[in-house]
Structures are given as structure tokens and as C-alpha cells.
Amino acid sequence: MMKRIYLCLTLLLAFSCNEVKEVKEEAVTEVQEAIDPSYNPEAKLKELGIELNTPSAPVANYVNAVRTGNLIFLAGKGPKKADGEYISGKVGTDLTIEQGYEAARITGINQLSVLKAELGNLNKVKRIVKVKGMVNAASDFTDQPKVINGYSDLMVAVFGDKGKHARAAVGMGSLPSNIAVEIEMIVEVQD
């Protein structure tokens, strides 16, 4: 009788292990099918000739990024150039739309630097979720979306379809230190 019980338990265990193995193999296959082999933001940055820098320290009592679950909230950053100077002035008075666009693009590079410092590798980005772009603009300036496109276009160039995001592009009467733009972002990441 004990031999039969032992044999039944052995067969039951073997059958269970095979089922677990099959489920695991199916899950691995699904993940492999979901991975886009052309998705490599790190390689895309190199292809675009973009070098990320060490993120600048916050200028007040806040942090550059906060992660909660699989979301990272990036604090507002501005257009700090490689030489340490900011692009400043009001778009529509001191700066053209094209100069504002470039300021937004530089801000995007600065945000990618923060994101990489937080994640270690930009390939962990699942999606750029939301961008809030603030433009230091003349009171009659109404082309804020054209300015913030500098940021959005960069996110799509680096992340492809995963870089497409919800967005706000608004005008401000002023921004800290008279910077041309300030942009914040929410990003979904893999564990």
C-alpha cells in the first residue's frame, strides 16, 4: 500500500513539474515576442551623437526624481548648456521659436541625464507618459506647442513610439532665473 501511495505522489509531483515548466516556457516566449529588437534608446543616443552629462543638483529643497512603483516623476529642468550657462529670455521677444525649440531640446537631454542616473540604463524605459512644458513667453506669444516640440521630438527620436506622450505646453510670465523653458516629465519603467 505504501509503495502505491509513494508511486502516486511521485507521478503527481512529476506531472506538476512538467506543467510548471510548460507555463514558464510559454511566459518566456510571450516576453520574447513582446520585446522589440529595434528598441535600444542607449544605442539611439549614440547614433544621434548625444552625450548625457551628470545631472545638475536641485536649486532648492527638492530632488531630481521620485520613483513610486513603476513610475518616475522628474522635477522641472531648464536648458542648461554643456558650458554651464542657461538659455534665457522670453520666447517671442528675446528668443525666436527656433531658439525656444532648441532650449526645449537641450532640456530634454538634461532630463534624459537625470533619468539615466536614476535607472542606470535607458532601455528600462517602458513609456514616456506625460510631459509638462512651460515656456517663458511674451504675453501675446501663442506658439508654446512649437517650442515644446523640441522636447517631444527628442523623446520620440530616442524612444520611438514609446516616446510619444500626453503633454501640456503653456506660457508663463516668468520662469526661475529667466530661463527660456522649464519641463517636467513622468516616465513608466520596467522593474
CATH no. of 41-189: 3.30.1330.40
> Which of these ranges, 50-59, 91-100, 166-175, has the smallest mean pLDDT?
50-59
- Strands 166-172 and 181-189, by their bridges, are unpaired
> What distance in Å separates the CA atoms of residue 176 and residue 71, rounded to the nearest whole number?
26
Residue 27 has pLDDT above 80, yes or no: no
68 vs 17, more confident: 68
Banded model confidence at residue 78, pLDDT cuts 50, 70, 90: very high
Pair 110, 80: CB distance under 8 Å: yes
Global pTM exceeds 0.85? no
Non-local (6+) Cβ contacts of 121 within 8 A are: 42
Banded model confidence at residue 191, pLDDT cuts 50, 70, 90: confident
Pair 148, 154: CB distance under 8 Å: no
- Strands 166-172 and 125-136, by their bridges, are parallel
Pair 77, 114: CB distance under 8 Å: yes
32 vs 84, more confident: 84
Residue spans per domain, the chain: 1-35, 41-189
3-class DSSP assignment, residue 179: strand
Tens digit of pLDDT for each residue in 106-135?
Answer: 999 999 999 999 999 999 999 999 999 999
Amino acid of residue 41: P
Banded model confidence at residue 59, pLDDT cuts 50, 70, 90: confident
